[in-house]
Amino acid sequence: MLEAGLGGVQEGVQRMEMSMMGKMHQLEETINKLSEALISSKALLSNKGESSHSNTNRESNSRPMHEENETNQKISLASFHLEGEANQWWQWARRTYREERRTMTWEAFEEELWTRFGPTDCEDFDEALSHIKQVGSLHDYQSEFEKLGNRVHGWTQKALVGTFMGGLKPEIAEGIRMFKPQSLKEAISLARMKDE
């Protein structure tokens, strides 16, 4: 009985870790997209109405300041989206850097964030994906499967389909196995139809 309870706790911790990793991944993607948009809009504004000669002089004189401002904007944008525990961590990290009179670079921000919330070196996403099981709703299972799937490389469609099907609740898997889905997209679609 104690082992069953411990297994449930371990599953809960794994789900929480995977959820945090998914949120980190989404945050990183959002930051990258917003940074690209910010950089391109700044480039358009700085080129508007100026000759290339004056633009070159201005850029060479202001590059370090521009890069520092850009880094601050990226960090501000990223930290704006932090909530709960992540926001508490950010408040502490920012205060620590200020008290130590250190400058928070984008690289330092990323490293600090990954150190605190990222996966540890001992986590094996291939193993986690190969052992995934549907314990709740199909939506939750699909989300967890996709999060893990984003962390693995080299898996064939056949392997992904087999793993997805093998992790489904038996009543769903049995109803779609006869269709022999050839792609993960097809397997997910069939599972969703069967689940409705």
pLDDT at residue 39, rounded to an integer: 60
pLDDT in tens, 154-168: 999 999 999 999 999
* Contact by Cβ (8 Å): 14, 128: yes
What is the C-alpha separation between 146 and 129, in angstroms, rounded? 9
- Residues in the chain, overall count: 196
pLDDT at residue 32, rounded to an integer: 67
C-alpha distance from residue 51 to each of 39, 44, 59, 162, 195 (Å) = 19, 13, 12, 60, 62
pLDDT at residue 71, rounded to an integer: 78
pLDDT at residue 135, rounded to an integer: 94
pLDDT at residue 160, rounded to an integer: 96
Q: H or E segment at 118?
A: none
Section 4-8 average pLDDT: 59
Domains and CATH numbers, the chain: 2-117 (no CATH), 125-195 (1.10.1200)
Section 176-187 average pLDDT: 95
pLDDT at residue 124, rounded to an integer: 84
Share of the chain above pLDDT 90, in %: 38
- Mean pLDDT taken over the chain: 80
pLDDT in tens, 24-41: 777 777 666 666 665 655
- Largest Cα span, the chain: 76
Could you tell me the pLDDT band of residue 52, with boundaries at 50, 70 and 90?
very low
Q: Outline where DSSP puts E strands in 52-160.
A: none
What is the C-alpha separation between 94 and 88, in angstroms, rounded? 10
| Distinct helix (H) and strand (E) counts, the chain | 9, 0
* Contact by Cβ (8 Å): 147, 18: yes
pLDDT at residue 111, rounded to an integer: 86
Q: Is the pLDDT of residue 140 over 90?
A: yes
- pTM, two decimals, is 0.45
